[in-house]
Amino acid sequence: MRKSNYEKFPSVAVPDSAGSCVTGWAVIADHIRRVGQGRAARRTVVVVECYPGVDEAQVRRDLQARLAPVLTLAMHDALRPPAEIDALVAPFLGGDDPVFGFLSGLTLPQFFDDGKLADLRAQAAAVAEGLVLVVGCGARLVAEGDVLVYADLARWEALLRFRRNESANLGTANHTLAASLQYKRAFFVDWRVADRWKRPLIAQWDFVLDTHLPAEPKLADGEAVRRGLRHAATRPFRVVPFFDPAPWGGQWMKETCDLDRSAKNYGWCFDCVPEENSLLLDLGGVRVELPSLDLVFDQPRALLGDAVHARFGDEFPIRFDFLDTIGGGHLSFQVHPLTEYIQQHFGLHYTQDESYYMLDAGPTTTVYLGLKDGVDPAAMLRDLAAAQDGGAPFDADRYANQWPAKKHDHFLIPAGTVHCSGAEAMVLEISATPYIFTFKLWDWARLGLDGKPRPIHLDHGAANIQWDRTTAWVGENLVNAVTPVATGDGWREERTGLHEREFIETRRHWFTKTVPHETRGGVNVLNLVQGEEVVVESPTGAFEPYVIHYAETFIVPAAVGPYTIRPHGPAVGVECATLKAFVRT
């Protein structure tokens, strides 16, 4: 097999940024001190805001040891007692539900005790000379500061720290709680609270502190980071993909994406989920890692386009990920909630409509999609409940259609449609962004990676199954609904979906020569689904040529406008194909 050329750590090179990022605590502290003294030499207040999941204690220790402040204040000292915070967030956690809750509208000041905050403010104000260091989530509540440092963290890294028992939820010491429950609390509460606090601060950052690699801390100039975000919104770019095992995981990505061959499997690759992924900015040869959400928050109109921004706000509505079952097993038999259901029960604006595009498939691969004609809903739900209670395994073949699946087939999955990919499939999943809203109906009597049964949500699922989506309707509406759109010299364009109930449109281009594209005022997300290598170019030279390799997902911001894609390097003379998604407007 050929050597993989899949780029696992793509970055955005920021022009004229040399010297704007330093590495190591000693240099970081010296940099902060010099800037602070230049602004307020007699009394300097350094405020270090931290995103949940950042190791506040380590940041405080390392800066305190090198800055030698006359006073150090830790924000955890002003938090309300953990029992009060638990009571504050409990309405959003869904009781005993192990997966689902309700999106919180809480704000960060609600997590702090007013009296304790007042005490910290008084301590800071009482210092007449020297350096005051305030560290932690909510540090700006104590003092505006002469220097504002923001210690940021991508959510994927936060999840890994939960798994390693290195991190707790906001305002708690629940390090040993199951990582899945910590993730749920972060998803519904912590990250929503922290993002509300972060958004207005981005324009004020003096520095950004990157501690994704604790042994290699980096401090980037805030204006250089903002310039990098503006720069990223003017050209094609990729976020940093991350990979994860799964109970059904396969082996295909190990070779194609050059992953650890000794790992048992890889089931997931999240290669365009900006709510979770990182963005690497190359600042003069030093790479600083940020949540890619910072780009969405800071440049929503340039990135998304006016119409998409008007509809979704500063949320990135399109998600691309991989599901690898080659050498693995079936995905869970599942259904996604209808729009009104996700709004009423979980507080989200839109639901997880999706599709499966087959990057690869074995000779006997199938996709379960829709119900067979004449299914008795009561009987199916009884059988699902019995299987969950330890009775006979659920006979999915009795109730659901199995459609043969081959490479480049596209299966459309509007919310409410029962579905799952079978084994021996490499799926490019294209969906709306809501991340954890899958109602598992049956998981083939297997255990999760933690050795425990995976949560089944039969009540939620039963409330959303669309029982009229049966064989004939599915075959006509959801399986390979391909229609020609346009042709040109060496290329042809096809519409492959999604269903009319879904807000995402997908277009496939087959080409041996240059293909013209246009964002038409909305963000585009593409994957190279065939061909070893292509190059994305600007007809006007507005951005540098950008090389993309097989299976890589990339984002073209709305602000780009016209762009072209053509075979490059080893793919010259070979037919290539991209799949493009955008929001219908």
SS3 278: strand
Q: Which two tokens stand for residue 526?
A: 């593409």
Is residue 403 scored above 80 in pLDDT? yes
Q: Which of 6, 3, 11 is nearest to 322 (CA)?
A: 6
Of 164, 198, 232, which one is at a domain's C-terminal end? 232
Question: Which of the pair, 91 or 453, is modelled with greater confidence?
Answer: 91
Q: Mean pLDDT throughout 317-337?
A: 95
Contact 70, 130 (CB under 8 A): yes
Contact 583, 350 (CB under 8 A): no
Most confident option among 99-108, 219-228, 331-340 = 219-228
Contact 263, 254 (CB under 8 A): yes
164: exposed, middle or buried (C-beta count within 10 Å: 0-12, 13-18, 19+)? exposed
User: CATH code at 556?
Assistant: 2.60.120.10
Model pLDDT for residues 238-277, shown as the tens digit of each residue: 999 999 999 999 999 999 999 999 999 999 999 999 999 9
Q: Is residue 274 part of a domain?
A: no
Round to whole Å and give the CA distance between 147 and 127: 16
SS3 306: helix
Round to whole Å and give the CA distance between 421 and 333: 8
pLDDT for the residue 436:
76
Q: Which of 577, 465, 560, 572 is nearest to 237 (CA)?
A: 560
Q: Which two tokens stand for residue 210?
A: 């990157």
Is residue 30 scored above 90 in pLDDT? yes
Q: Which of 515, 561, 565 is nearest to 540 (CA)?
A: 561
Model pLDDT for residues 183-217, shown as the tens digit of each residue: 999 999 999 999 999 999 999 999 999 999 999 99
Count of alpha carbons within 13 Å of 237, Cβ hemisphere only? 29
Round to whole Å and give the CA distance between 207 and 21: 9
Q: Is residue 368 part of a domain?
A: no
Percentage of residues in the chain with pLDDT exceeding 70? 99
Round to whole Å and give the CA distance between 46 and 60: 11
Q: Which of 415, 525, 410 is nearest to 463 (CA)?
A: 415
Q: Which two tokens stand for residue 340?
A: 């009104």
Query: What letter would DSSP give residue 394?
Result: P
Tokens 């609600």 identify what position? 110
SS3 412: strand
pLDDT for the residue 126:
96
Q: Which of 133, 150, 159 is nearest to 197 (CA)?
A: 150
Q: Which of 500, 537, 517 is nearest to 580 (CA)?
A: 517
Is residue 437 scored above 90 in pLDDT? no
Could you tell me whether strands 278-283 and 286-291 are parallel, antiparallel, or unpaired per DSSP bridges? antiparallel
pTM of the model as a whole: 0.96
Bridge partner residues of 49 (DSSP):
150
Q: Is residue 5 part of a domain?
A: no
Q: Mean pLDDT throughout 385-399?
A: 94
Sheet holding 553-556, edge to edge: 483-488, 491-497, 504-511, 576-583, 524-530, 553-556
Enumerate helices (H) and strands (E) in the chain, giving the number of each: 17, 31
Model pLDDT for residues 544-581, shown as the tens digit of each residue: 999 999 999 999 999 999 999 999 999 999 999 999 99
Of 215, 232, 249, which one is at a domain's C-terminal end? 232
Q: Is residue 164 part of a domain?
A: yes
- The per-residue pLDDT of the chain, averaged, comes to 95
- Cα angle for residues 427, 311, 357 (degrees, 5° grid): 10
Distance of CA 244 to the CA centre of its chain: 13
Tokens 């956690």 identify what position? 93
Query: What letter would DSSP give residue 170?
Result: T
Contact 421, 267 (CB under 8 A): no
Q: Which two tokens stand for residue 563?
A: 């762009």
With b for 16 or more beta-carbon neighbours within 10 A and e for fewer, the 450-465 pattern comes to: eeeebebbbebbbebb
C-alpha separations of 39 from 27, 35, 36, 221, 582 in Å: 19, 7, 5, 16, 46
Is residue 435 scored above 70 in pLDDT? no
Give the number of domains in the chain. 2
With b for 16 or more beta-carbon neighbours within 10 A and e for fewer, the 547-569 pattern comes to: ebbbbbbbbbbbbbbebbbbbbe
Confidence of residue 348 (pLDDT cuts 50, 70, 90): confident
Q: Is residue 316 part of a domain?
A: no
Domain extent, residue 187, equals 12-232
User: CATH code at 226?
Assistant: 3.40.50
Round to whole Å and give the CA distance between 55 and 129: 28
Tokens 């990339």 identify what position? 554
Model pLDDT for residues 35-68, shown as the tens digit of each residue: 999 998 899 999 999 999 999 999 999 999 999 9
pLDDT for the residue 434:
66
Q: Is residue 281 part of a domain?
A: no
Q: Mean pLDDT throughout 98-118?
A: 95
- Cα angle for residues 224, 230, 235 (degrees, 5° grid): 120
Is residue 1 scored above 80 in pLDDT? no
Q: Is residue 512 part of a domain?
A: yes
- Cα angle for residues 19, 24, 28 (degrees, 5° grid): 65
Tokens 């995905």 identify what position? 331
Of 180, 203, 232, which one is at a domain's C-terminal end? 232
Round to whole Å and give the CA distance between 559 and 553: 18
Round to whole Å and give the CA distance between 289 and 281: 7
Q: Where are the alpha helices (DSSP H) in 199-263?
A: 222-232, 252-256
Q: Where are the alpha helices (DSSP H) in 463-584?
A: 471-477
Is residue 2 scored above 70 in pLDDT? no
Contact 531, 575 (CB under 8 A): yes
pLDDT for the residue 317:
94
Round to whole Å and give the CA distance between 6 and 238: 12
SS3 97: coil
Round to whole Å and give the CA distance between 385 and 390: 9
* 546: enclosing H helix or E strand: strand 546-549
Tokens 């995103």 identify what position? 51
Model pLDDT for residues 128-152, shown as the tens digit of each residue: 999 999 999 999 999 999 999 999 9
Q: Is residue 567 part of a domain?
A: yes
